[in-house]
């Protein structure tokens, strides 16, 4: 590394052709500085977003989910997507995408892929799924289980994508260019250079795109993809994955790489509103429904937790019994959602408390075993006791041992050898090198009377 005279003092530099006005560049997770520049006005507005600058506010609410080993996938989840109303979830892992009906808690479709899905989006009705697969963006028709459209241009680095509610538009960033593609016309409608996105969401009317880039939320009108410069909201810093509501006012993220908690920001007040705890290992994906009422988080162990952000509360786990060890117990139940009147299926770990007017009849919760059912000789297959007035039904979770090989968890652990003092080696008889001259022997050996040690290994013997 040849050293030159360092010259980092202020001096004029060559203007790039693409930069027409002064811009402050948000730091992206990739640290490649290719993200869209902010105008100084936006940057100035965002100075209010700096930590420690705002007034004292209420602390965020922490929601804790029970410890769950009920898994949705055998391995870590690479991407999640929710429909705008939060009723359908897509989760990707191990070159599979599972589509979940969150009303019943059941998997409706499983797509087999030839590569891992990196980013995904669903249409409002949950009938179409877009995903980045390798160098391609594909859209599936889930009813048929077939690929409906493939964006012909190969992509390189896609940070996020979004489908319009009707599936007629797909927005995605690639190599820091924001693209708006029409699957029906199979052509690129618009693009914006220098726009790096880590989350995208399209409004319910399909006329506005919200984009989260590091620390800022920006808006674009559709389909002309014009930046609406009058509106900026505070974003969050780097996150391993980020979700965004279509109005841009709520942001969900696993804050930093390898964090086990997810947070939900209010982008208007610039405050963390919710802290979601419950994952036992590092988060790998988050999804926030465009209506801001439902959220999903997924971790390295393949566990997916579902959150109701209205109350807010932990809601359920997405559970696939073929992916879960048979020793792991859980409870399935249905309950009526008071807001919508719909019966919703829930899966929770056995440690979770049960709603009022219901009793668990599985034997996984100490003290809640239904003795009367056992007395009636149905202990081998207990059924839920459903009171007449109760809107709640329960049945024990049937868990079959999956035919899966145990994959040892990666742990970097090195056994430390215990220190044991080494036995003293016998000293070989001293052999004179030259008669009456110098003697050599191992360091540590006693020095004979009348002799002098010329090394310095033994303090005091020099």
Partner 1 sequence: MSATEAIPTAECAESPPLLTAETFVIPSLAGRYIVYAPLRRAAFIANARVVNFLADLQAGRFDAAADPDGSLTEFLRHLELIDAGPEELPITTFSGEPEPTEVTLFLTTACNLRCTYCYASAGDRPAKFMSLEVARRGIDFVLANAVRKQIPAIGITYHGGGEPTLNWRVMTESLQYAREVAATGIEVKASTASNGVLTDEQINWITTNLQGVSLSFDGLPAAHDRHRLTVLGTGSSERVIHTLKRFDDAQFNYGIRVTVTKDQIPLLPDSIEFICAQFHPARIQVEPAYQIGRWEHAPSAETEEFIGAYRQAQQRARQHGHEIYFSGARVGLLTNHFCGVTQDSFALSPDGNVSACYETFSEENTWAQKFFYGQPDAQSNSYRFNLPVLNHLRQQAVQHRSYCQGCFAKWNCGGDCYHKSLTVNGADEFAGTDRCHIIRELTKDQILDRIDVAGGIFWHEPDTVLAAQHKETR
Residues lying near partner 1 in the complex (CB under 8 A)? 1, 3-16, 18-28, 31-34, 37-41, 43-44, 46-47, 49-51, 214-216, 234-238, 258, 412-414, 416-417, 419-420, 442-444, 454-457, 459, 462
Q: State in angstroms the smallest separation of the CB of 220 from partner 1.
A: 20
Q: Which is nearer to partner 1, 375 or 454 (CB)?
A: 454
Q: Provide, rounded to whole angstroms, the least separation between the CB of residue 18 and partner 1.
A: 8
Give the 3-state secondary structure of residue 217.
Answer: strand
CA atoms within 13 A on the CB side of 114: 6
Q: Measuring CA to CA, which residue among 195, 252, 200, 198 is closest to residue 227?
A: 195
Nearest to 199 by CA among 260, 267, 126: 267
278: left (phi over 0), alpha (psi -120 to 50) or beta: left
Rounded to whole angstroms, what are the CA distances from 70 to 285, 327, 332, 362?
17, 10, 11, 16
Q: For the CB of residue 27, give the shortest distance to partner 1 in the complex, in Å.
A: 5
Least Å distance, CB 288 to partner 1, is 19
Nearer to partner 1, 179 or 270 (CB): 270
Q: Which is nearer to partner 1, 126 or 235 (CB)?
A: 235
400 or 416: CB nearest partner 1:
416
CA dihedral of 224, 227, 230, 235, whole degrees rounded to 10: 130
Coil/strand/helix, residue 460: coil
Q: How far is the CB of 68 from partner 1 (least distance, A)?
A: 23
Q: Exposed, middle or buried, 236 (CB in 10 Å: 0-12/13-18/19+)?
A: buried
**Which CB sits closer to partner 1, 39 or 231?**
39
Q: Give the Cα separation of 43 and 22 in Å (integer).
A: 11
CB of 273 to partner 1, least distance (A): 17
Is the Cβ of residue 20 or residue 56 nearer to partner 1 in the bound state? 20
> Judged by CB, which is closer to partner 1: 58, or 411?
411
DSSP result, 378-440: ITTS------TT---EEEEPP-PPP--PPPPPP----PPPPP-PPPPPPPPPP-BSSTTS-B-
CA distance 199 to 254: 12
Least spacing, CB of residue 438 vs partner 1, in Å: 15
């Amino acid at each position: 590394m040849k050293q030159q005279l360092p010259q980092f003092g202020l001096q004029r530099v060559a203007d790039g052709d693409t930069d027409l006005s002064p811009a402050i560049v948000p730091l992206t997770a990739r640290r490649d500085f290719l993200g869209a520049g902010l105008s100084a006005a936006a940057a100035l507005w965002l100075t209010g977003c700096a930590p420690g600058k705002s007034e004292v506010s209420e602390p965020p609410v922490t929601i804790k989910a029970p410890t769950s080993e009920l898994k949705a996938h055998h391995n870590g989840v690479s991407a999640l997507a929710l429909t705008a109303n939060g009723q359908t979830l897509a989760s990707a892992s191990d070159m599979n995408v599972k589509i979940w009906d969150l009303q019943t808690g059941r998997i409706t479709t499983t797509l087999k892929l030839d590569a891992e899905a990196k980013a995904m989006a669903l249409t409002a009705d949950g009938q179409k799924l877009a995903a980045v697969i390798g160098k391609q963006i594909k859209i599936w028709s889930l009813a048929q289980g077939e690929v409906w459209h493939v964006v012909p241009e190969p992509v390189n680095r896609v940070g996020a994508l979004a489908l319009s509610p009707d599936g007629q538009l797909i927005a995605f960033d690639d190599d820091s260019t924001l693209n708006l593609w029409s699957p029906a016309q199979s052509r690129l409608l618009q693009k914006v250079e220098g726009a790096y996105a880590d989350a995208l969401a399209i409004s319910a009317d399909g006329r506005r795109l919200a984009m989260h880039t590091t620390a800022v939320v920006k808006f674009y009108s559709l389909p002309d993809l014009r930046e609406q410069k009058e509106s900026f909201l505070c974003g969050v810093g780097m996150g391993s994955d980020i979700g965004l509501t279509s109005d841009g006012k709520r942001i969900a993220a696993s804050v930093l790489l390898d964090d086990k908690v997810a947070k939900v920001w209010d982008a208007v007040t610039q405050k963390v509103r919710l802290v979601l705890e419950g994952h036992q290992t590092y988060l790998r994906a988050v999804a926030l429904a465009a209506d801001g009422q439902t959220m999903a988080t997924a971790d390295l162990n393949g566990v997916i937790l579902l959150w109701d952000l209205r109350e807010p509360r932990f809601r359920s786990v997405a559970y696939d019994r073929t992916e879960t060890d048979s020793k792991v117990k859980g409870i399935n139940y249905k309950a009526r959602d008071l807001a919508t009147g719909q019966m919703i299926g829930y899966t929770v770990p056995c440690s979770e408390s049960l709603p009022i007017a219901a009793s668990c009849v599985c034997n996984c919760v100490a003290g809640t075993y239904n003795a009367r059912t056992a007395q009636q000789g149905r202990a081998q297959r207990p059924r839920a006791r459903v009171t007449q007035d109760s809107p709640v039904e329960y049945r024990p979770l049937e868990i079959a041992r999956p035919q899966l090989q145990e994959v040892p968890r990666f742990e970097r652990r090195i056994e430390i050898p215990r220190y044991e003092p080494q036995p003293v080696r016998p000293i070989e008889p001293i052999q004179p090198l030259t008669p009456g001259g110098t003697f050599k022997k191992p360091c540590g050996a006693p020095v004979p009377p009348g002799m002098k040690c010329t090394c310095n290994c033994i303090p005091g013997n020099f």
